[in-house]
Structure 1
Amino acid sequence: MEEKVIEENKQGTSLVQDQIEGNQKKLFIESYGCQMNFSDSEIVASILSEQGYNTTQNLEEADLVLVNTCSIRDKAEQTVRKRLQEYNAIKKINPSMKVGVLGCMAERLKEKFLDEEKIVDMVVGPDAYKDIPNLLKEVEEGRDAINVILSKEETYGDIQPVRLSSNGVSAFVSITRGCDNMCTFCVVPFTRGRERSREPESIIQEIQDLWDKGFKEVTLLGQNVDSYLWYGGGLKKDFEKASEMQKATAVDFAQLLDRCATTFPKMRFRFSTSNPQDMHLEVIEVMAKHHNICKYIHLPVQSGSTRILKEMNRQHTREEYMTLVDNIYRIIPDISLSQDMIAGFPTETEEDHQDTLSLMEHCKYDFGFMFAYSERPGTLAARKMEDDVPEAVKKRRLNEIIDLQQKMALERTKRFVGQVVEVLVEKDSKRSNLHWSGRNSQNIVVVFPKENYKPGDFVNVKITDCTAATLIGEAVGYSEIMN
């Protein structure tokens, strides 16, 4: 699993959805961490709306407060702890309010939250959301409620998520849960369990529902989408035990992506996150074939040194990764790539760090998510490796990685100046409500004057200028996909 993309400006946002008449109880739910957690909160809100709960943004009036947590970074855990203390202060005023912790941190700190700190009433792991109604009954009868059992089957394929705080244009659809890659720095296999894929029909149905509601773009989501494999249910690792018939009719990620793009030709598709060792060229060929599959891949690498990659238990070498990138550029020359990078992993030398910088120059990433290594409790690295790179060295190496990335980002963005790009209008520009903001196929933000266009339109925009992260231009008309 990759360090999932954590969007800082979304952290801690509370969900809002349409109020259902007759629902008397109030739910306050806020999310931290990766997109998977935000997606899971929508599933939870959907389950609870059946139980008579409407969402509220007013913490004081809530009957039930849930916080969906993340274990990837220490900072996220500290923030959640602070929030739990704030909830407790409100509990003193409103003693009937119940507090629950969901998600990855719940799995990791179950006893601590309930027994030692006594700050929550229920703890629910990522596979147990359907059990929330039963857990609430336990809580109402005065017992602590906990379910962090990791499932081998749960994919929530049968629950239509309630789309929360969405822009109405782009949505996320989960296609896999869990992860089988035991990267030594990552806690996800322990908090989200083994990898399993969701039934293709239920994915297509959910996209159909989004299309009917006017959505124009879907991101297929998973800890590791490339290893998507449906053969009638069951864990990815058990595929070798499948029958000949199951093997012959199995659906892999390239086939799923092809089916999505063919079934919904007027809708745009993205996917995240990819894992280099599971990324097959068939996927790239499907991307090249369909105009409506965005030409962008988030392809985390974590380090440019083969020795460090081995320490991280990544299943690829520096050379294999670079060959993959060369093949991607060969098949789709105008693609954008982004990276995840960890600076200062245990035992990293100056030479390893230089390997990372030279790999970055080779791959020419458009953007990246870069972190200094910090030990995560429960991971293999925390158990087996000494965190031996001094903080000051980590910081310097991280800054060198960020500086190089910013320099490359500007170069990469400049290539669009003078070109006409297709943009899906999403929302007002951050800087000016006279401009629209959307993204091109390569996932770069484009801003242009509004004129008579509206969110959900696909517009051709002639690019006249850029910064490292944004393209600036003027609309020249609707794009082909609108016809």
Structure 2
Amino acid sequence: MEQVEKVIDEKIQGKPLLTEKKEGNSKKLFIESYGCQMNMNDSEIVASILSEEGFNTTNNMEEADLVLVNTCSIREKAETTVRNRLKKYNAVKKVNPKMKVGVLGCMAERLKAKFLEEEKIVDLVVGPDAYRDLPNLVEEVEAGRDAVNVILSKEETYADVSPVRLNSNGVSAFVSITRGCDNMCTFCVVPFTRGRERSRDPKSIIEEIRSMHDKNFKEITLLGQNVDSYLWYGGGLKKDFKKASEMAQATAVDFAQLLDMCATEFPKMRFRFSTSNPQDMTLDVIHVMAKHKNICKYIHLPIQSGSNAMLKAMNRLHTREEYLELVENIYKIIPEMNLSQDMIAGFCGETEQDHKDTLDLMEKVKYSFGFMFAYSERPGTLAAKKMEDDIPLETKKRRLQEIINLQQEHSLFRTREQVGKIQEVLIEGTSKKNENEWKGRNTQNTVVVFPKEHYKMGEFVNVKIEDCTSTTLKGTAVGYSENN
């Protein structure tokens, strides 16, 4: 349950990253990632750094000189999977003794001592801020020493490492704008594994988007644990902003301004962003979204619970009433906006009334979709240290099911609203269910499928919506949109 677009997309979990081979590179790197989109993005940065050190990627683990697993500390399931993978790597190591194994990312940060000293299952442990140190760490390991760098940084934003993005669909890409998180939600381990919040220089963001634009990418998602709190004032931690000079404060760039810059600079590209935090979301951002047609009318706006008692226990820094007021204002400014949620069922101390408050809030907002979990305690979080996980599993499961059932009703309500309309869709690939159909997404982030005809991947097409399920719109293309 992290603060990034939580879609832990099951299809890409553990998929080895493959990038273009660089001439003259003789070493082989096998890298697989688990967890959120931020982790997938980080693996691309790692591949980029190591490609300068003579490594090309391979999807054949047996031939690799270096095997890296980029981990997630959020869910127990991810942790178990990674442990099983490490056993597999070590079996391969017996056959290929020169192979070195490393753990990257959030889990590395949390379990460094265990992995290296107690279990001796890895050679290399690298936290999420230390990827730039990889060349040195790899040298250490090659010289037969264990290598660890899990120091969390005040500055590291990887602004000048351009991630290699060759295993994407070539149409949409992710660009990180912040790292770390200052919100100490009691259920979440991110601030401890990814450090305090810092933002990237807007110039480096615009340059990275320009390089994507030149490669013909059509859609960019700006990514951060909490994008709304983006703040560039010349570098350093977000929390130190008040100590900056008057000049630095006066010329600072916030998220609304960054979004405006991106959309203005690249009018033919579509922009999305994730994840938003209700307490940091300002109406300036919504006004910028209303002003630009190329900023998608969709926000992932996690709340986790509809109960004030639970929001307080989770250390969410807003109330139910403030959240509903924000939602009301968003719908006023952009009536066609779609919102999605994160909900945790059965957090510590949750009563039946707290649960009813969540269902009631969902009725008021009518999210287009959501990511819903039964609470499971994560080691290292404040909740694990200070709160009792006292809700029986049966109760958690029932409450979760009630949340899911209600969400499905609302998802269908939202897709039905689109039937009969003509919508701009960016073609992202072939439909999974029918190879004669394209799939893409409309501005509200809903998947649309339609017959391929003469249209091509990466084109913006106007589609008349004729039918829907709770997750997908179906229609027929009526021509290109003016965006092409």
The TM-score with structure 1 as length reference comes to 0.99
User: Is residue 221 from structure 1 mapped to residue 209 from structure 2 by the alignment?
Assistant: no
**1:235 corresponds to 2:243:** no
| Offset at residue 481 of structure 1 (A) | 1.1
**2:332 aligned partner:** 330
Query: What amino acid does structure 2 have at the position aligned with 1:53?
Result: F
Q: How far has the Cα of 1:9 moved from its partner?
A: 1.4
Alignment of 1:214-363 (within 5 A): 214-363=216-365
| Distance in 2 between residues matched to 1:441 and 1:422, nearest whole Å | 7
Identify the residue that residue 155 of structure 1 maps to in structure 2. Answer: 157
Take 1:184 and 1:304, find their aligned partners in 2: how far apart are those partners?
Answer: 16
**Following TM superposition, by how much is the alpha carbon of 1:141 offset from its aligned partner in structure 2, in angstroms?**
1.0
The equivalent residue for 1:369 is 371
Say which of 436, 439, 447 aligns to 2:438: 436
**Residue number in structure 2 paired with 1:10:** 12
Give unpaired runs (5+ residues) of structure 2.
none
Query: Using the alignment, how far apart are the partners of 2:331 and 2:12 within structure 1?
Result: 32
Aligned to 2:123: 121
CA–CA distance in 1 between the matches of 2:481 and 2:331? 25
Give the letter for the 2:364 counterpart: H
- Residue 142 of structure 1 is matched in structure 2 by 144
Aligned match of 1:63: 65
Q: Residue 253 of structure 1 aligns to which amino acid in structure 2?
A: F
| CA distance in structure 2 between the aligned counterparts of 1:377 and 1:272, rounded to whole angstroms | 25
The CA deviation at 1:432 is: 1.2
Residue number among 27, 30, 35 corresponding to 1:28 in the alignment: 30
CA distance in 1, matches of 2:56, 2:449: 35
- Structure 1 CA distance, aligned partners of 2:12 and 2:446? 19
1:31-54 deviation digits (Å, cap 9, x = unpaired): 000000000000000000000110
Q: Which runs of 4+ in 1 moved over 4 A?
A: none
Q: Which one-letter code corresponds to 1:480 in the other structure?
A: E
Q: Aligned-pair distance for 1:65?
A: 0.3
Q: CA–CA distance in 2 between the matches of 1:243 and 1:149?
A: 28
Q: Deviations over 1:92-128 (max 9, x none)?
A: 0000000000000000000000011111000000000
- Three-state SS of the structure 1 residue aligned to 2:299 is strand
Q: Find the aligned partners of 1:338 and 1:8 in 2 and give their Cα distance.
A: 19
For residues 315 and 461 of structure 2, what CA distance do their matches in structure 1 show? 43
Deviation by residue 1:140-170 (Cα, 9 ceiling, x = unmatched): 1111000000000000001011104100000
**Secondary structure at the residue paired with 1:207?**
helix
Tell me the residue number matched to 1:80.
82
The C-alpha deviation readout for 1:419-442, integer Å capped at 9, x for no partner, is: 000000000000111110000000
- Residues 372-405 of structure 1 show CA distances to partners (whole Å, capped at 9, x for unaligned) of 0000000000000000000000000000000000
- Mapped to 1, the partners of 2:478 and 2:139 lie a distance apart of 58
Cα distance in 2 between the residues matched to 1:11 and 1:296: 25
- Structure 1: how far apart are the matches of 2:33 and 2:142? 24
d(CA) in 1 for partners of 2:18, 2:166: 6
Q: What CA distance in whole angstroms lies between the structure 2 residues aligned with 1:2 and 1:324?
A: 19
Q: Distance in 1 between matches of 2:14 and 2:85?
A: 9
Distance in 2 between residues matched to 1:116 and 1:210, nearest whole Å: 44
- Give the SS at the match of 2:272: strand
Q: 2:182 aligns with which of 167, 180, 194?
A: 180
Higher mean alpha-carbon deviation, 8-17 vs 45-54, is at: 8-17
The C-alpha deviation readout for 1:157-205, integer Å capped at 9, x for no partner, is 0101110410000000000000000000000000000000000000000
In structure 2, give the amino acid aligned to 1:199.
D
Distance 2:398 2:211 in 1: 48
Equivalent position amino acid for 1:20 in 2: K
User: Any residues of structure 2 matched to 1:370-389 within 5 Å, and which?
Assistant: 370-389=372-391
**Deviation, structure 1 residue 5:** 2.5
Q: CA deviation at 1:212?
A: 0.2
Q: What is the alpha-carbon distance in structure 1 between the residues aligned to residue 179 and residue 7 of structure 2?
A: 16
Residue 420 of structure 1: aligned partner: 422
SS at match of 1:143: coil
Identity over aligned residues, as a percent?
76
What SS class does the counterpart of residue 14 from structure 1 fall into?
Answer: coil
Q: How far is 1:25 from its partner?
A: 0.7
- SS of equivalent to 1:142: coil
1:474 corresponds in structure 2 to: 476
Which ranges of structure 1 fall in alignment gaps of 5 or more residues?
Answer: none
Residues paired across the two proteins, number: 482
Where does residue 460 of structure 2 map in the other structure? 458
Looking at structure 1, the residues matched to 145 and 236 of structure 2 have their Cα atoms a distance apart, in angstroms, of 34
- The Cα RMSD (Å) is 0.6
> In the aligned structure 2, how far is the partner of 1:231 from the partner of 1:346?
39
Question: For residues 202 and 301 of structure 1, what CA distance do their matches in structure 2 show?
Answer: 31
| Separation (CA, whole Å) in 2 of partners of 1:445 and 1:367 | 12
> Following the alignment from structure 1 to structure 2, what is the Cα–Cα distance between the partners of residues 184 and 29?
31
Task: Summarize the alignment of residues 373-412 of structure 1 with structure 2, pairs less than 5 Å apart.
Answer: 373-412=375-414
Q: 1:438 is paired with a residue of what secondary structure?
A: strand
Query: Quick check: 1:201 aligned with 2:164?
Result: no
Q: Aligned partners of 1:307 and 1:480: how far apart in 2?
A: 49
Query: How far, CA to CA, are the matches of 2:432 and 2:169 in structure 1?
Result: 14
> For 2:279, what is the secondary structure of its paired residue?
helix
- How far has the Cα of 1:2 moved from its partner? 2.2
State the TM-score, normalized to the length of structure 2: 0.99
Write the distance in 1 (CA, Å) between the matches of 2:434 and 2:399: 36
Q: Which residue of 2 aligns with 1:211?
A: 213
**In structure 2, distance between residues paired with 1:32 and 1:272:** 18
- Letter matched to residue 348 of structure 2: P
Alpha-carbon distance between aligned partners in 1 of 2:53 and 2:435, rounded to the nearest angstrom: 39
- SS of the counterpart of 2:418? coil
Distance 1:183 1:71 in 2: 15
